[in-house]
Structure 1
Amino acid sequence: MNYVQEMRQLIGHRPLLLAGSNVIMLNARRQVLLQHRLEGVWGLPGGLLELGESLEEAAIREVREETGLQLHALDFLKVFSGPDHFFTLPNQDQIYVITALYVSHSWQGDIVVDKTESRDVRFFDLQALPPLGDEYREYLDYFLSLPLLPSSSR
C-alpha cells in the first residue's frame, strides 16, 4: 500500500494535499512528448512524489516509468498550485495538487509505453496538439508564453 492509499484509509474522500512534477520534453524538432493517459486525455509525463523523494527525483522517475526514457538534464520552470489545482477524482477523492513544472531537451533511450499507465506516448508538433487535460494545457500555455521560446516554435 502506498502513501496516498494509507492516507485515504485515515481521511476518506476529504481533501488531501499532494505534490508532483511534470516535464515538458522537447526533441530537436521542437516537438513535445505527450502521454495518452488511461483516463483518455493526453498530458505531460509526470506524477506524484513518493515519500522522501525530491521534486526532481520524482520527475526523473516518472518519466522513466511512463516513457522508458532516462532524463539527463532538467530545468525548473514554475510551481502551479492554488484553488485552480483542486480536483475531485472519479472515485470522489478530493485533492489539491502542487506541481513543479520542468523542461528537458536531453535524455536517452527509446520510448517504451507502460500499458498500466498509458495508452500511447509520442511526440507532437506544438501547433498540432491533441486534446489535453486542462492542467496540461495550462502548463504548455505557460511554457509557450515564455520569451525565451522563439516565436517560430509557437
Structure 2
Amino acid sequence: MTLDYVKALRKKVGNDPLLLPGAVVLIFNDQGELLLEHRKDGGWGLPGGLMELGETIEGTATREVFEETGLVITSLQLLGIFSGEDYHFTFQNGDEIYSVTAVYWTNQYSGKLKHNSNESVDVKFFKTLPPELKDEYKDYILPYYSSIIEKQRTSTHE
C-alpha cells in the first residue's frame, strides 16, 4: 500500500524530500462537464493519487479513480507529465515531496458515481470550474480544458 510505503520511507529519511509519482484523470461526461472531487484536505480537485509499488502509471490512474469515485475507466489518453520545482511541496509537518504527475483524460467510463468518505466529502460533474478549485489542479486542467471540450463537441456532432 502506498501510504505504508511512504511511511516506511519517512522513518528512514525523516522530512527530507521524496520523489513521488502519481496520476490524475480529467473525466468528462457527455454534456462536457468535468468530474471533480471535494477533497477532505480542502477545495475541489481531480481524482487521482500516488503510484503503488509494482504498478503502472495507467494502473495508478484507473485504480485511484475507482477508489475515489466508484467509476471504472475503460480508456485513457495521456495529456502530459508535470514535474520539477513547481511541484515541490512542503507539508505542515515538514515533510517535503517532489511530485511527478501523469495527467490523463477520458470520457469512457462505467459504474455508479459515489465518493469515498475516507478521502472526500463529495464528487460531482461541473459545467464550469468552481472558484474553490485547488491551485495545483488548475495546472493539470487549464492547458487542456477547452480543447477537450471542443473535441467532445466535434465528435458528438459527426
Segments of 5+ residues of structure 2 without an aligned counterpart are 154-158
- Aligned residue for 2:132? 131
Letter in 2 for 1:141: L
How many pairs are equivalent?
151
Letter in 2 for 1:89: F
- For 1:142, what is the secondary structure of its paired residue? coil
Structure 1 residues 1-154: aligned runs within 5 Å: 2-125=4-127, 127-144=128-145, 146=147, 149-150=149-150
Letter in 1 for 2:150: P
1:128 Cα shift? 4.1
Give me the whole-angstrom Cα distance separating, in 2, the residues matched to 1:106 and 1:128.
21
Normalising by structure 1, we get a TM-score of 0.92
Superposition RMSD on alpha carbons, in Å?
Answer: 1.8
Give me the whole-angstrom Cα distance separating, in 2, the residues matched to 1:128 and 1:9.
39
- Cα 1:152–1:70 shift into 2, 3 Å: closer
- Cα 1:11–1:103 shift into 2, 3 Å: same
1:111 Cα shift? 1.0
Higher mean C-alpha displacement, 128-137 vs 49-58: 128-137
Segments of 5+ residues of structure 1 without an aligned counterpart are none
1:23-79: CA deviations, max 9, x gaps?
Answer: 000000000000000111110000000000011000000000000110001001100
Does the Cα contact within 8 Å between 2:19 and 2:97 map onto a contact in 1? yes
Normalising by structure 2, we get a TM-score of 0.90
Give me the whole-angstrom Cα distance separating, in 1, the residues matched to 2:84 and 2:105.
22
Give me the whole-angstrom Cα distance separating, in 1, the residues matched to 2:145 and 2:121.
26
Give me the whole-angstrom Cα distance separating, in 2, the residues matched to 1:90 and 1:70.
34
1:132 Cα shift? 1.3
How high is the sequence identity, in percent, across the aligned residues?
Answer: 44
- For 1:92, what is the secondary structure of its paired residue? coil
